[in-house]
Amino acid sequence: MLCDRCGERPAAIHLTQIVDNSVTTAHLCEQCASEQGVQVSGPTAQLPLSGFLGSTGAIGAVLAEGANLGTCEFCGASLQDFRETGRLGCAHCYVAFETQLRELLRRIHGASMHVGRPYLGAAPPSSEEVPRVLAGLRERLERAIEAENFELAAELRDRIRGLE
């Protein structure tokens, strides 16, 4: 891919900006990026999470299982990006990659659901919030059933019954 600005050199810097639900991506060579004020020299931040995930092979196993992993429709991030950086592109990635992230958590933690002590700071939804929360849970339940993720579907069914 060539630089969007000069069109001559290969793009080495990929900038993604999200403003008011509008995503813009610029692909720049190092020279054009430095002219734009983007720092291109210096140590690259290596996240401990990405090193850990790479060393366990957990992400590699998840990536190897699916041929078409897709991308987040909102920001364009892929699971390959997550593998390289240890970061998801945006909050919408959690929904886009829900199946793969659930499998990753199961491989790392031995379970895909939290089994430790409950977080006591979370309050149950107020009576005004219950219809909105139920609608969201029902939507997730439909997606889980369509994806044939029956473990998640059963969990969501139980949460819905608890709120009703």
Domain boundaries in the chain? 1-42, 43-114, 126-164
* Amino acid type, 132: R
The secondary structure of residue 1, as a DSSP letter, is -
- As a 3-state breakdown, the chain gives helix, strand, coil percent values, each rounded to 5, of 45, 10, 40
Residue type, position 51, single letter: G
Residue 39 near residue 32, CB atoms below 8 Å: no
pLDDT of residue 66: 43
Mean pLDDT, 10 residues at a time, the chain of 164 residues: 89 81 84 78 50 53 53 84 79 82 74 63 73 89 90 90 84
DSSP SS3 for 115: coil
Helix (H) or strand (E) holding 153: helix 150-163
- Residues 89, 76: contact at Cβ < 8 Å? yes
pLDDT at 142 (0 to 100) = 93
Of 110, 111, 163, 116, the residue nearest 140 (C-alpha): 163
Q: What amino acid is encoded at 30 in this protein?
A: E
- C-alpha separations of 140 from 38, 90, 135 in Å: 40, 19, 9
State the Cα–Cα distance between residues 134 and 103, nearest whole angstrom.
25
| Residue 67: predicted pLDDT | 39
- Give 16's strand partners: 25
pLDDT at 51: 53
User: What pLDDT score was predicted for residue 28?
Assistant: 86
